[in-house]
Amino acid sequence: MKGVGRETEFHKQYEDAVQAFRSKLGATYPIIIGGIEVKSTEGTFADTSPSDTNVTLGYFQKGTREDAKRAVEAAREAFKGWSLVDYEKRVAIFRKAADYMSERKFKLAAEMSFENGKNRYEAMADVDEAIDFLRYYAMQLEENQGYVHEMSKLIQSEHAKSVLRPYGVWSVIAPFNFPLAIATGMTSGATITGNTVVLKPATDTPLLSYELCQILYLAGVPPGVVNYVTGSGSTVGAELVENKDVAGVVFTGSYDVGARSISEFENSSPRPFVAEMGGKNATIVTEKADLDKSAEGVFRGAFGFGGQKCSACSRVYVQSSVKDEFVKKLTEKTSQIKIGDPTEKDVFLGPLINESAYKNYQQDIEDAKKVDAKIVFGGEILKDGKYANGYFVKPTVVVDAPEDSKIVKSELFVPIVVVEPFQNLEEAISKVNDVVYGLTAGIFSNDKNEIEKFFEKVEAGVLYANRTSGSTTGAVVGVQSFVGWKKSGSSGKGAGGPWYLPQFLHEQSQTFYD
């Protein structure tokens, strides 16, 4: 009964937070530069809910290049003091921020369901991940004693040490799909190590980044250390990449935008650009797999948050002898999905994030039909009744798509999964690797040798075997480093892992003699 009681309380607190937020819809939010709230000369834009575009969550500033420049300057000035703050004091601030965020978790989850369409469970998981980032990076900095390492000596009077020191101002460019977790991970990674930041949220999800900044300020982060500027990628985003006073950029988004930004940023001088840039993630199901577990894992990996995750499973290679049975099980699960308002208790799949994603889904379905792929479930938009004012679509299972087609090779970021057969494991692994991305991949098999071969030969940064909670998704901070290979990432070091924080630091050798 204790479990039942906790679940009841969870739903009550979430639903109370939903009602509380409804009473605050339509507020106007500022830009924050150097601790000062600022209004843009260009006015505001409306942040509407993808579930119902008639619902305006709030009005946010249309930031300009000048706003971004002033934010960089404020961060540059704040760096002079923040970089000298003892690492233990920074650790204490971020642990306090984690506590404050934990106290507000239902409020934040409810706002997220409104803003990007995550159901209550996914929204809460996003908040929990953000809290984990704050605590894990605090622990990492503490365990490494601020990244000061005593070195060897050549003579007795020599005393040398290696010290990792912050770079300066970092641009933090956050995505819509994990609007609190990823924004928190990138922002805390940069600032806990002594850098200062200008945070630009995705224009679809400015609210959660605003809430993050308020929590950091409350915890004791000084003015100017974290600056918040909303606006478009063509103005604010461009300035944060092109500004010569920015020492580093941390970015999560598409490969096209990331690659272009890296080129522009590194054009004038070598500077760190930490990027995670999407994936085309595959799951292998062998004839030695438990097909019920396989279908569950693929279902969750493919359709969790409507496939709008860079780790989403969008390809499945199933051994020919069990393909038909697997497709039947996957289709049965998919057909039972409840689609609708993500604040409702039993809804699994909410809307796509915006009109662009909505149109992309329709185009992807048309592309699949043009290459004679077979749609065994889904492929439809939903516009009637309760779906009329949102971006709702049916999760889609496709088979028999040509291996060289767009639906198989390109990142889609919508709820479409392609199932294809294979004869032997070597063939499946070859197909998994035959894309430009290398973020996540999964396998279902009860044969340890097959799993070992998968781990040894698949070219991706995050690998899972027999993961029913999501065949390619669900990395946990401090458990699975989230790192992309190939065109999925720029640094080869993963968020939520032991090598993430040093990316925000450069080494200095310090030696003195008696």
pLDDT of residue 2: 52
Rounded Cα–Cα distance for residues 172 and 374 (Å): 41
Cross-strand pairs, 162 = 149, 509
Q: Per-residue pLDDT tens for 49-76?
A: 999 999 999 999 999 999 999 999 999 9
pLDDT at 1 over 80: no
Could you tell me the CATH superfamily of domain 281-477? Aldehyde Dehydrogenase; Chain A, domain 2 (3.40.309.10)
SS3 252: strand
Question: Phi and psi of 492, rounded to 5°?
Answer: 75, 15
pLDDT recorded at residue 19? 97
Interval 281-309 mean pLDDT? 98
pLDDT of residue 266: 85
Residues 6+ apart with CB under 8 A from 267: none
- Give pLDDT, residue 3: 65
Average pLDDT, the chain: 97
The residues near 329 (Cβ < 8 Å, ≥ 6 apart) are 291, 292, 294, 295
The answer to whether 452 and 396 have CB atoms below 8 angstroms apart is: no
Strand, helix or coil for residue 507: strand
- Residue 268: its pLDDT value, please? 78
How many CA atoms lie less than 13 Å away from 79 in the CB half-sphere?
22
Residue 462: CB atoms within 10 A of its CB come to 24
pTM of the model: 0.97
pLDDT band at 440 (very low <50, low <70, confident <90, very high): very high
Q: How far apart are CA 113 and CA 68, in angstroms?
A: 29
* DSSP string computed for 432-454: HHSSSEESEEEEE-S-HHHHHHH
DSSP single-letter state for residue 279: -
- Cα separation, 134 vs 140, whole angstroms: 10
Query: What is the spatial distance between Cα 282 and Cα 297, in angstroms, rounded to a whole number?
Result: 12
Q: What pLDDT does residue 252 have?
A: 97
Residue 463, H or E segment: strand 462-465
3-state secondary structure 174-226: CCCCCCCHHHHHHHHHHHHCCCEEEEECCCCCHHHHHHHHHHHHHHCCCCCCE
DSSP character at residue 245: T
Q: What is the rounded CA–CA span in Å between residue 458 and residue 373?
A: 26
Compute the average pLDDT of residues 205-220. 98
Residue 120 to residue 283: CA distance in whole angstroms: 26
* Domains 2-277+492-508 and 281-477 agree in fold: no
Look at residue 152 and tell me whether its pLDDT is greater than 60. Answer: yes
Q: Return the bridge partners of 158, or none.
A: 513
CA dihedral 182, 133, 187, 441 (to 10 degrees): -40
Whether 168 has a pLDDT exceeding 60, the answer reads yes
Place of tokens 């199901």: 285
**pLDDT computed for residue 482 by the predictor:** 97
Tokens of 250: 């941390």
Alpha-carbon span 334 to 316, nearest angstrom = 15
Identify whether the C-beta of residue 100 lies closer than 8 Å to the C-beta of residue 221: no
DSSP 309-358: STT-EEEEEEEHHHHHHHHHHHHHHHHT--BS-TTSTT--B---SSHHHH
The 44-49 sheet, strands edge to edge = 27-29, 52-61, 44-49
Angstrom distance (rounded) from CA 122 to CA 177? 11
Buried b (16+ CB within 10 A) or exposed e, 190-225: bbbbbbbbbbbbbbbbbbbbbbbbebbbebebbebb
Q: Which of 3.20.19.10, 3.40.50.970, 3.40.605.10, 3.10.20.30 is the CATH number of 2-277+492-508?
A: 3.40.605.10
β-bridge partners, 495: 482
Q: For residues 257 and 3, which has the higher predicted lDDT (pLDDT)?
A: 257
**Helix 206-219, helix 87-103: angle, nearest 10:** 130
C-alpha to C-alpha distances, 32 to 40, 107, 188, 208, 216, nearest whole angstrom: 11, 21, 17, 14, 13
The whole-number average pLDDT for the span 279-305 is 98
d(CA 71, CA 169): 10
- Over residues 221-241, mean pLDDT: 97
Active site members: 276, 310
Averaged pLDDT, 191-205: 98
Q: Using DSSP, state whether 81 is helix, strand or coil.
A: helix
Residue 106, amino acid: F
Asked whether the predicted pLDDT for residue 105 surpasses 80, the reply is yes
pLDDT of residue 159: 96
Residue 235 DSSP one-character state: I
Domain ranges of the chain: 2-277+492-508, 281-477
Closest CA to 10 of 120, 112, 148, 94: 120
